Amino acid sequence: MIEVLFWAAAALIVYTHLGYPLVLWLLARMRRRPTVSPPHSWDELPTVSLIVAAYDEEDVIAAKVTEAAALEYPRERLQLIVASDGSSDGTVARARAAGADLVLDLPRAGKLAAQNAAAEQAGGEILAFSDANTVWEPAALLRLVEPFADPNVGYACGQVRFTDGGENLEGAYWSYEMAVRELESALGGVTAGNGAIYAVRRSAFPRLPASASHDLSLPFELARRGQRSLYMPRARATEKMVPTLEGEFARKRRMMVGLWDIVVGERMLSPRGYPPLFAFQLASHRALRYLTPFLHLVVLLANIVLLGDGWVYTVTLAAQAALLLAAAAGRFVPLAPLRVARYYVMVTASIAAGLWDRLRHGPPGTWEKAEGTR
């Protein structure tokens, strides 16, 4: 029984990181990519409300509003909204001075609350969302709204490229993640979005609880309503990365606090309402990925019990020890394999750390900026 548990857990870890992308690639080659009819002229473009939720962003908010106003989109069909979540600095004044169409000076209640408040007052047929420190390419909004010409599309996210990564390998991981999402988009739809650049059809926009996340919640909520969620790689944006791996761990740990409310409270993994292909993608990419730290623990404990049952278990335990030692050494020795090991171990551990924080402190409420990303 222990032996079956060991090999099953190890196989699931390998599958979610390597096997699942391979299965997606094979399925995509067997299936024609769905086509999306883009708008034919400026007159047919939908009205868009671009919402920026901000907390103490006085250093970047004016530049963000100026950049948004200069996007290659008819200005008369674009509404710029800044929703300040209880900012204590000059965010509100600078957003107004920069020319935002609507600036909401809200009490501190969290990012989702600010986004919900902005959505309620938005006038656009499409609600687009961006972070204050994200820079969109001029044509990004045009590319982002293209798929909404298809009435079955409810959500679209773009491609973000990270800059100034330092020792953080999030940019390399994100390239892998975007390749997976492009394959998902060609099949059942993406299972998670991208908070730096995304859009939602207003008629399909759900008011989510404060513990939720647009990145994780919107794709599966819309899938239950028969709406597709797509990845549009030509809608591009850039964002500064957290410069240290410790900072990235802290950022992901904060993100993962709300994960458990989404998975359990919002019934992400409930089998009802999903198309079969999307349900398969959700289980492979989301459920197994979030279980990875616990699967590693199962593999380690089962491996210890199985020592003496054959040389193979000595080798597998040595491999696990080598991964942990490489991760520890990666803090001091800047060799690529050691840095990759350190990144993998810390990011995987952030999932368990987020659960621990959730159990100790309850569901998340307010939000904080990631240090070094402005």
Residue 238, in any domain of the structure: yes
CA separation, residue 25 to residues 22, 191, 260, 286 (Å)? 5, 16, 29, 17
Model pLDDT for residues 261-318, shown as the tens digit of each residue: 888 767 787 767 888 999 999 999 999 999 999 999 999 999 999 998 989 999 999 9
Flag whether 137 is in a domain: yes
326 assigned to some structural domain: no
- Give the pLDDT mean for 33-59: 75
* Average confidence (pLDDT) over 89-112: 94
Within a domain: 92:
yes
Asked if residue 31 has pLDDT above 80, the reply is no
Residue 368: the pLDDT is 65
Q: What is the pLDDT of residue 39?
A: 46
Q: Could you tell me the residue range of the domain that residue 156 belongs to?
A: 46-243
Average pLDDT over residues 95-100: 96
Residue 167 resides in a domain: yes
Q: What is the mean pLDDT of residues 232-239?
A: 94
Kindly report the number of other CB atoms within 10 A of residue 340's CB atom.
16
Distance CA 350, CA 346 (A): 6
Overall number of domains in the chain: 1
Q: What is the CATH number of the domain that holds 73?
A: 3.90.550.10
- Residue 192, domain member (yes or no): yes
Query: What is the pLDDT averaged over residues 44-60?
Result: 94
Tell me how far apart the alpha carbons of residues 82 and 85 are, in angstroms, rounded to a whole number.
9
pTM over 0.85: yes
51, two tokens: 């919402």
> Is 273 within a domain?
no
Give the sign of the dihedral formed by CA 192, CA 42, CA 72, CA 78: negative
- Domain for residue 11, yes or no? no
Give percent above pLDDT 90 in the chain: 67
The pLDDT tens digits of the residues spanning 211-234 come to 788 988 999 999 999 999 999 999
